[in-house]
Amino acid sequence: MARATVAVLFGGRSSEHGVSCVTAGGVLGAIDRERFDVIAIGITREGRWVPASADPADWTIRDGQMPEVADGAGTVLPPAVAGERAWSVLDADGSVAPLAEIDVVFPVLHGPYGEDGTVQGALELVDVRYVGSGVLASAAGMDKQFMKTAFRAAGLPVTPDVTLLRGDSVAERMDDVEALGLPLFVKPARAGSSMGISKVTDLSALDAAVADAVKHDPKVLIEQAVSGREIETAVLETVDGPRASVPGEIITGGDHDFYDFEAKYLDEAAVDLVSTADLDPEVECRVRETAIAAFRAVGAEGLARVDVFVTEDGAITINEINTMPGFTPTSMYPRMWAAAGVEYPQLVQTLIETALARPVGLR
């Protein structure tokens, strides 16, 4: 069989640009270059698609600084006609040069303009296969309001919340907010990596927390806090249906009240990432069943990470599903699969092969 060409697509316009670049470094380093040809395509913060380095060493955190896609001399152009495989580069002088014939795209974009169904829709317009969930599942997984709507419709437990739409004032919804009790978590509805999330223990701090969240998204969720262990489960699509890993656990310490951006990426010493959580077998079984039910509730494909809270009495509440979770070799998603005997390169290969086998068109 001819070698397939994989394009790793990363960067993007969201506030998670740097996180996406780090994830790309992990994926680029894991793809078997004996089996696949690899092309790297970066998306700048302004939205330009550019040829990028396929060297994973170029996409690592250095001195506490996230990597970034720099604007290049050319603009990457996808196929102009559905079904074609040839991608090109438009140079500054207006000339067009071939880039590669691409068989599958591995989009490792996090946040809006990438993880939310927008890039998935662009690829589907020209029948390009890609790793991960389709348009609807990606959009639902990105938007916490509609994610919860899907989970509630499936009978799955979620945290009570109040949603503020663009233009809504906190004062107008204060009765509903007060009914949630304290503490509260204030979150952008469509952001990830804990960007713009605040823990509120006094209602006098609510306006400032909402203002911080609005920097990332005009729609904001105010959620009731859940006191419980933070448990994560990795879900992988297989030919036999979705499969759930053994759950892992996030234990946050130091000066962090919760698993915020600093704790995730810049203060590793303050966080204990436990690949195999110490759970009662019956609770573990229910956590894994809940993860698969959440995966199916939004129509996810390929991969997802499902985060839940487990209280002292064993009750489970879903926090969120992430249809393109952090995917560096040290991220929880691959670590949980490694604990189950599925190593990082094997995981990447499985995702690529699953995407290559998926029919194009309506999903």
Distance CA 214, CA 217 (A): 5
User: Residues 315-323: what's their mean pLDDT?
Assistant: 97
Q: Residue 169's pLDDT is what? A: 93
16 and 123 share a domain? yes
Model pLDDT for residues 54-101, shown as the tens digit of each residue: 999 999 999 989 999 999 889 999 999 999 999 999 999 999 999 999
Model pLDDT for residues 236-265, shown as the tens digit of each residue: 998 889 999 999 999 976 554 655 455 454
Domain holding 178, by residue range, is 161-224
User: Residues 192-204: what's their mean pLDDT?
Assistant: 88
The CA-based angle 27-31-37, given to 5 degrees, is: 120
Q: Which two tokens stand for residue 274?
A: 């436990």
236 and 208 share a domain? no
Binned at pLDDT 50, 70 and 90, residue 276 comes out as very high
Residue 358 lies in a domain: no
- Percentage of residues of the chain with pLDDT beyond 70: 93
150 and 168 share a domain? no
Q: Residue 262's pLDDT is what? A: 55
Residue 165 lies in a domain: yes
| Last residue within a domain, chosen from 172, 191, 224 | 224
Distance CA 323, CA 359 (A): 20
pLDDT above 50 (res 50): yes
User: Residues 125-134: what's their mean pLDDT?
Assistant: 96
Which among 130, 30, 114 has a CA at the least distance from the CA of 330?
30
Distance CA 172, CA 132 (A): 39
99 and 194 share a domain? no
Give me the number of domains the chain comprises. Answer: 3
pLDDT above 70 (res 147): yes
Please report, for residues 187, 290, 297, the alpha-carbon distance to residue 155 in angstroms, rounded to integers and kept in the order given: 23, 10, 9
User: Residues 311-337: what's their mean pLDDT?
Assistant: 93
152 and 272 share a domain? yes
Q: Is 186 in contact with 200 (CB distance < 8 Å)?
A: yes
Residue 48 identity: R
Q: Is 329 in contact with 234 (CB distance < 8 Å)?
A: no
Distance CA 118, CA 139 (A): 8
49 and 184 share a domain? no
13 and 108 share a domain? yes
> What residues contact residue 320 under an 8 Å CB cut-off, 6+ apart?
141, 144, 147, 306, 307
User: Residues 353-360: what's their mean pLDDT?
Assistant: 91
153 and 249 share a domain? yes
Q: Residue 304's pLDDT is what? A: 98
Q: Residue 263's pLDDT is what? A: 47
Please report which residue ranges of 69-173 form alpha helices under DSSP H: 118-125, 135-142, 144-153
Q: Residue 269's pLDDT is what? A: 59
Find the CATH number of the domain harbouring 32.
Answer: 3.40.50.20
Binned at pLDDT 50, 70 and 90, residue 326 comes out as confident
Q: Residue 355's pLDDT is what? A: 95
pLDDT above 50 (res 48): yes
Q: Is 8 in contact with 38 (CB distance < 8 Å)?
A: yes
